[in-house]
Amino acid sequence: MHVLIVDDEDSLLLTLAANLELEEIEVTTAGDGARAVELAAKQHFDVVLSDMRMPGMNGLQLVGELRKINPVVPVIIMTAFALEGLVEQAISEGVFTVLRKPFAVDHVIAAVKRASARPTVLVVHDDPDAADSIASVLRAARVPAMATCDAHDAIRIAREAEIDVCIADLDLRAGAAELITELHALDPSIACVAMSAHRGADLRRVASQVVACIAEPVRTLELLQVVAKARAAFAHAPAHPGAAR
Amino acid sequence: MTLAAMQTSAPEATRADRLFDEHQDQLFRRAGRIFAPLMVIQWVFGILIAVTFSPYGWAGKVKSIHVHVYAAVLLGAVISSAPLLLSLTRPTWVVTRHVVAIAQMLWSALLIHLTGGRIETHFHVFVSLAFLAFLYRDWRVLVPATLVVVSDHFVRGLLWPESVYGVVNPEWWRFLEHAFWVAFEDAVLVIACVASVREMRDVARHGAEVEGLAAAVGHELRNPLAAVRNATTYISKRLTRVNGGAPPADPRILQFVELADRELETCNKIITNLLDFSRHRPLSVGAWPLRELVDEASSILPPTSVMVVNDVPADLPAPLVDKDQFRQVLVNVIQNAVEATGQNPTSPGRIVISANGGGDGPWRIRVADDGPGVSREIADKIFEPLFTTKTKGTGLGLAIVARIVEAHQGSIRLDSTSGRGTSFVIELPRARAEDQEARPTRRDAKAELPSVSQAPGRT
């Protein structure tokens, strides 16, 4: 696996690269966006890790430039800033996830390994049109996604494809809690998100198994934010916090 | 990125405006909570006056209820209903304050009429104006109020003078005399309103400066902290892996690396607190069950000898909260309780988290510890930023709690008796009907495609 790290802080580049190399990941570093684009044009990278605020080209602009070279390369954004417009825009552009500095090294390694597998988001909704439209919104942002209206089909897909996030309708006929339990039995690392047509929907049955709940009709930015958050949440805590007790 | 650049990216002016708006909304909500019951009280009071002052009239041999009683019941209901409804449901709307102001003056008019124009009842006008000014701190509400009271005096003074002045033939300019005193009070109140808004602005500006500094420092520290954290991780991995798990010659090397890691984590927590305090995350609410949230919160806490008991009923209705932010509220409050009981040397300590309500009433969440309790002076300041009684800590934990609870339109208070433990009581408003209603039909539940580019960007 070959990873490109882009950051204007030398000390971060140096230490992060050393840690990834310790995991036998091949690393190339770039001190700014222009250098990163130059490198990406010459060779293939499985994952790009980039800082957001850099002199010259910022992380968001870099994502745009990298997409011109390779539209599907997963980009992980690292930022010291908790909340800002740039991060929000990067999420709209479908970056894989956003990691907050100072991160735990294992957290980055988990995220990089996950991103390199180019996992898919699975959308499960009783209404096939709704499921399709949500998946197509994700795909429009270059987030690989699949849709299904059948819980059995969902399990089959999870078995065959590399699924890392599942967005399940809370009012699923087959039962959202049952589906999530089955998915977790198959792969405990799948991060699940509940989706509901009303804000007041009771999340009791799924509360300890989902990382978030989104309301329908789904807003694009909220959807992408939830997916990015689900991916970061997994890397952060492989065990589901509620299930631990 | 320099500190100066940081500050321009998060302009202090917008922070100050936001803090000011939040403060004002709080005032409006408080005013709503006062005016809503007042509307009911005035109605009951009006009926009582009507019944005692003019209970019955006699038409021939038939005893009948005086028309005043009907007036009090019906007109009173008409006057009170709109401001009552608005104060309860839309306390922050501009129209609410104006409707309340007009209603107060109409109540003055009705009460004056019901008491037969008693001069003492005119005090209601002056008290009401003062009330409006001090609760809303918006001088504009005095305009419709004054117009209503003056025109009422003028019109009724012409048509039915007894009902407003208590005499049959007052001078034609009598309303001007009343208007003069109203204007006099208005002048004083306008000055008071303007001054208190200016004070609120000053407080907001100061708060914004503190927030801006916290954000700038927090962000600037995160980059170096990230690099150091990477470095210590690398060193400890190398030390343990290269030697095949055997400790290096000097055992303190490994020990110190671990210590550095731990202390870095402490630094990170302090910075996170600073940033949580300085930023305002929008809420993303869902009906999250409290019992599970409490479980999650206590699983995040660092290990402790204090017993943490989750006594929240499993079937309690779920309140509408932002999961991450409300979990943080619970973590901070429970953590605070753990630290408080830790100071009690006689017993290991026990914290009980209980909750009730939901449905028709507000939710009430109680985090009770059996620590030494806190004194009155501490209780008054405990939610203020940077206030702490501990030797460690930023004094921001509970300030963050108060802020998040306020963002949920809830309240938090402290119940404490020195020597007998402390309880934090969080109240969340009952669910509004519109939140419980289903969104558009399930078949329409599709993603709205073209919303990315219009998404409001925060910078």
Domain ranges of chain B: 3-206, 285-435
Mean pLDDT (chain B, rounded): 81
User: How many residues would you count in chain B?
Assistant: 459
Q: Inter-chain contact A219–B224, Cβ cutoff 8 Å?
A: no
Of A201, A223, A241, the CB nearest to B299: A241
pLDDT value, residue B97: 95
Gap from B275 CA to chain A (nearest CA, Å): 8
Helix, strand, coil percent values for chain A (each to nearest 5): 45, 20, 35
Higher pLDDT, B183 or B283: B183
Which amino acid is residue B127, in one-letter code?
A: V
User: How many residues would you count in chain A?
Assistant: 245
Q: How confident is the model at residue B240 (pLDDT cuts 50, 70, 90)?
A: confident
- Inform me whether the pLDDT recorded for A238 exceeds 80: no
Gap from B242 CA to chain A (nearest CA, Å): 11
pLDDT value, residue A2: 95
- In which residue are the tokens 């839309």 written? B90
Contacts of A219 in chain B (CB under 8 A): 447-448, 451, 455
Which residues neighbour B397 within 8 Å (Cβ) at sequence distance 6 or greater? B273, B332, B335, B336
Burial (CB count <10 Å: 0-12, 13-18, 19+), residue A151: buried
**Does residue B449 sit at the A interface (CB-CB below 8 Å)?**
yes
ipTM of the assembly? 0.82
Q: How confident is the model at residue A200 (pLDDT cuts 50, 70, 90)?
A: low
Q: Inter-chain contact B288–A105, Cβ cutoff 8 Å?
A: no
B contact residues 263-292, partner A, Cβ 8 Å cutoff? 264, 268, 275, 279, 281, 284-289, 292
What is the DSSP-derived secondary structure letter of residue B122? G
Gap from A203 CA to chain B (nearest CA, Å): 6
List of domains in chain A = 2-116 (3.40.50.2300), 120-244 (3.40.50.2300)
Contacts of A127 in chain B (CB under 8 A): 442-443, 445
pLDDT value, residue B360: 78
Superfamily, domain B285-435: Histidine kinase-like ATPase, C-terminal domain (3.30.565.10)
Helix (H) or strand (E) holding B3: helix B3-9
CA B235 from chain center: how many Å? 48
Please state the pTM of the whole predicted model.
0.70
Of A12, A125, A242, the CB nearest to B223: A12
- Inform me whether the pLDDT recorded for A54 exceeds 70: yes
Q: Minimal Cα distance from A224: which residue of B?
A: B452
Answer whether A124's CB lies under 8 Å from A148's CB. Answer: yes
pLDDT value, residue B377: 77
pLDDT value, residue B62: 54
Answer whether B204's CB lies under 8 Å from B212's CB. Answer: no
Higher pLDDT, B245 or B326: B326
Q: How confident is the model at residue A244 (pLDDT cuts 50, 70, 90)?
A: very low
Measure the CA–CA gap between B6 and A87, rounded to whole angstroms. Answer: 15
